[in-house]
Amino acid sequence: MARRGVADRAGAERFLKPSFDQLHDPYLLAGMEPAVERLLEARARGEKVAVVGDYDVDGVTATALLLATFAACGLTGESILPHRLAEGYGFQPVHAERARDLGCRLIVTADCGSSSGPAAERARELGIDVVVTDHHLPGCELPAGVLQINPRQAGCTYPYPHLAAAGLALKLALAFAGRCGRLDSGALLRVACLGTIADLVPLTGENRVIAALGLEALAGARSHGLKALIRFAGVRPPITAADVGYRLGPRLNAAGRLSTAEQALELLMSRDPARAERLAAGLDAWNRQRQSEEARVVEEATRLARERHPTPPILALWSEGWHRGVVGVAAGRLARDFHRPTLLLAVENGVATGSGRSISGIDLHGFLGRWKERLERFGGHSQAVGMTVDAAALPDLQREWEEAAAEWPAELLAKRREYELELAPEEIGRDLLAALARLEPHGQANPQPLLKVGPLKLEVPPRTFGNGHLSAKVRGDGTPLELLGWGWQSRPGALEGRFEVLGCLDRDRETGGPVLRLIDSRPLPA
């Protein structure tokens, strides 16, 4: 806990026992008071409100959360989600015009808007008021009269600046529903935790509370959509952050990556069990297609990266054959594999659209901001960015980025594994598993503890299963231990003779006992 910023016993109590009263007052956010007053005014006048969201899990859950809250409080809401392929990211003038056509007099954004000056200006021209809720770094000055709820905006002194869009939507929902006397914090937290975990914001402070309480509430979800999603993902209680990150989140993301996010939003809002089942099945199919597209992009981008000798300090790669809906996830994979900030861009009709992912210690948004004027669109935060740029400019930009990144200290780019406990296999058991479980939920800034375990030797040859995975039973000084290596079938010599491993301790869903998920291994002298 000390390594995670917990300074004293009182902090430890809060860390180990997240509770609703640890959430800050929503009205500490700049813009919250006038935003709630404008919503109450819309309710009193019978005005319709458009919620303009985003196509990823954070944006979709924030949109669903606001729409459900508005409906419960007697306010009619309409959803507007950008189409990734046809429109691209963010609140745009066409969305203001769509809101007008829907008869809306107020727009509330969710996970976008901080860089949408032209869209906000168009809304004001049409006589539509705008409330921006966004957690991205502000990219422009918004027109006068636009209300903004963003902990990163100038002059905001909110105590915790790292909320995801779903967390900000939760704050607005709590403030508005509280004024209307219709507060159901459990239902709100179930949805907010999905976006918070999936968006990879730090799971510290308020985000940790939202994630922990939301995961606990998910097990008792009454929503037909959530229940169908959980069933199709093969998730069983207790639901963990890993379940959201690797099973639930990707399914909610898949349709928005390859087509439209409307299906994911409809699933979260569904009141019809049969319809929810069909939507969950559709998202499951989209997810399989997403996995196939992503694997192809990762393979091709990895080949391009390996052709660069030596590996540059920043990887900027592009291709006309890549699907722009999956380049962000693929960039994250390459950033981990090569330990380099990575930008992957899909080129279509001379325009490159893509995403970047960074590594610890490097602010990618701040670094690339120097070239903002040469990019058609640019936004994001320190660890993840999105951009659109003239494809013809990419070779020059790539060279300039690499030259500038050459100034980074070499130690930032050195791949290293830092473990937290060194254990003999006989020290691993259910008691340790239960103790470490108190540190959950795990995520950014609260990683799952990495253990060094050894010396070990195989009891029997490892068993392979699934798509290239490996399971093995090992023995130390008489205590058997199960190892699980996702994708480790391609590393057959990694578990030979005497060796030690780095891994994270997980709970086996069948036996309830410990299983060590492999991260790395190295041989030991015989």
Say what the pLDDT of residue 477 is.
57
Question: Rounded to whole angstroms, how far apart are CA atoms 286 and 264?
Answer: 11
Q: Mind listing the pLDDT tens digit for each residue in 128-154?
A: 999 999 999 888 899 999 999 999 999
The residue with greater pLDDT, 89 or 235, is 235
Torsion of CA 56, 61, 67, 69, to 10 degrees: -160
- Stretch 346-350: mean pLDDT: 95
Does residue 492 surpass a pLDDT of 70? no
In this prediction, residue 415 has a pLDDT band, given cuts at 50, 70 and 90, of: confident
In this prediction, residue 5 has a pLDDT band, given cuts at 50, 70 and 90, of: confident
Say what the pLDDT of residue 509 is.
82
Does residue 269 surpass a pLDDT of 70? yes
Does residue 49 surpass a pLDDT of 80? yes
Question: Rounded to whole angstroms, how far apart are CA atoms 223 and 267?
Answer: 9
Does residue 284 surpass a pLDDT of 70? yes
Question: Rounded to whole angstroms, how far apart are CA atoms 209 and 18?
Answer: 5
Joined together, the tokens standing for residue 9 give 């016993």
SS (H, E, C) 186-238: HHHHHHHHHHHHHCCCCCCHHHHHHHHHHHHHHCCCCCHHHHHHHHHCCCCCC
Joined together, the tokens standing for residue 518 give 């492999």
Say what the pLDDT of residue 479 is.
63
Residue ranges of domains in the chain, CATH in brackets: 24-183 (3.90.1640.30), 308-413 (3.10.310.30), 421-523 (2.40.50.140)
Does residue 476 surpass a pLDDT of 70? no
Residue 221 main-chain phi, psi, to 5 deg: -60, 135
Q: What is the pTM of this model?
A: 0.89
Does residue 448 surpass a pLDDT of 80? yes
Rounded to 10°, the helix 249-258/224-232 angle is 90
Does residue 60 surpass a pLDDT of 70? yes
Strands 342-348 vs 351-357: parallel, antiparallel or unpaired: antiparallel
Identify the bridge partners of residue 272 per DSSP, sorted by sequence position: none
Q: What is the CA radius of gyration of the chain?
A: 24
Q: Cα 86–89–95 angle (5° rounding)?
A: 75
Contacts of 465 (CB under 8 A, 6+ apart): 471
Torsion of CA 36, 197, 346, 293, to 10 degrees: -130
Question: Rounded to whole angstroms, how far apart are CA atoms 162 and 102?
Answer: 33
The residue with greater pLDDT, 309 or 287, is 287
Least confident residue range of 184-188, 228-232, 247-251: 184-188
In this prediction, residue 181 has a pLDDT band, given cuts at 50, 70 and 90, of: confident
In this prediction, residue 506 has a pLDDT band, given cuts at 50, 70 and 90, of: very high
Residue 252 in contact with residue 54, Cβ under 8 Å?
no
- CA 118, distance to chain mean position in Å, is 27
